[in-house]
């Protein structure tokens, strides 16, 4: 196909997609106009009230948040791990359905364990944000519970990864090693690596969408709440890291011989 033909195909594709793009821009403009009006009203009436309510919520929740996180994510992850181990016990070599069910339970346990970790990090952020606003014993109670829950989270994570390694003897890596991800990846075969790349790309796309939504929320929220541009900048930093890592990876991949 000649370059002229290719150019006309590209032009036709752009022409086809342009009306939809303009319509989306128009909708965004109308929605943005509405949000602007809403924020102007909210800044006068509700922003101060919302911040005051949140302040009370954080102060009350600071000490007990690690318990809530443990009950909501930590305990279910432990229960699922135990269920997976029970299912895997005495499995016949060719019992594929049984193995897959056990692996699925292990995967959900690992996902919940990740949520447990995120929840704990948030509870630490709340504790630090309220350190000079609540009684000292509450801060120490919160920190104590945080560390206990953290130990449980790491233990369940280790047991879950060990369980995956028991089902898949070729897998390598200890979660306590700084090279865990590298060791694990190296022990994966071609299909598993493809699966990891596919999931990674899915995560990248979800991350970009989340960054866009969070950027809008944090940038617009700075008007009524007056917290400045730092939250939006933090979101953009994550976005920057994702895009840079992706681009660097694709450029490196293109040069690979």
Residues interacting with another protein, by CB under 8 A? 93-94, 96, 168, 170, 188-192
**C-beta neighbour count of 249 within 10 angstroms:** 13
Q: Which is nearer to another protein, 132 or 189 (CB)?
A: 189
Q: How far is the CB of 98 from another protein (least distance, A)?
A: 13
**Shortest Å, Cβ 93 to another protein:** 5
Judged by beta carbon, residue 44 or residue 100, the one nearer another protein is 100
Smallest gap from Cβ 103 to another protein, in A, equals: 8
What is the spatial distance between Cα 223 and Cα 216, in angstroms, rounded to a whole number? 12
d(CA 130, CA 126): 6
CB of 134 closer than 8 Å to CB of 59: yes
CB closer to another protein, 183 vs 192: 192
**Rounded least distance, CB 113 to another protein, Å:** 22
Q: Which is nearer to another protein, 168 or 244 (CB)?
A: 168
Measured CA to CA, the distance from residue 4 to residue 11 in angstroms comes to 11
Residue whose CB is less far from another protein, 55 or 96: 96
* Structure tokens belonging to residue 112: 């919940």
The whole-angstrom distance between residue 228's C-alpha and the CA centroid of its chain comes to 24
Q: Smallest gap, in angstroms, from Cβ of residue 189 to another protein?
A: 4
Helices (H), 189-228: 190-225
Q: Who contacts 217 (Cβ-Cβ below 8 Å, separation ≥6)?
A: none
């Amino acid at each position: 196909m000649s370059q002229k033909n290719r150019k006309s195909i590209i032009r036709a594709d752009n022409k086809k997609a342009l009306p939809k793009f303009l319509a989306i821009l128009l909708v965004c403009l109308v929605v943005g106009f509405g949000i602007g009006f809403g924020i102007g009203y909210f800044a006068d009436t509700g922003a101060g009230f919302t911040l005051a309510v949140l302040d009370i919520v954080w102060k009350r929740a600071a000490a007990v948040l690690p318990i809530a996180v443990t009950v909501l994510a930590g305990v279910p992850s432990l229960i699922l791990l135990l269920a997976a181990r029970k299912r895997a016990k005495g499995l016949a070599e060719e019992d594929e359905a049984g193995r897959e069910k056990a692996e699925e339970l292990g995967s959900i346990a690992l996902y919940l364990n990740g949520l447990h970790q995120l929840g704990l990090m948030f509870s630490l952020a709340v504790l630090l944000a309220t350190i000079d606003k609540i009684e000292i014993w509450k801060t120490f109670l919160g920190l104590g519970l945080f560390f206990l829950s953290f130990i449980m989270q790491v233990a369940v994570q280790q047991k879950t990864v060990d369980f995956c390694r028991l089902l898949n003897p070729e897998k390598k890596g200890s979660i306590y090693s700084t090279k865990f991800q590298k060791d694990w990846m190296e022990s994966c075969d071609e299909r598993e690596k493809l699966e990891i790349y596919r999931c990674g790309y899915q995560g990248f796309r979800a991350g970009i969408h989340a960054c866009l939504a969070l950027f809008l929320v944090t940038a617009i929220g700075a008007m009524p709440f007056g917290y400045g541009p730092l939250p939006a900048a933090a979101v953009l930093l994550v976005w920057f890291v994702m895009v840079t890592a992706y681009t660097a990876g694709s450029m490196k991949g293109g040069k690979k011989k």
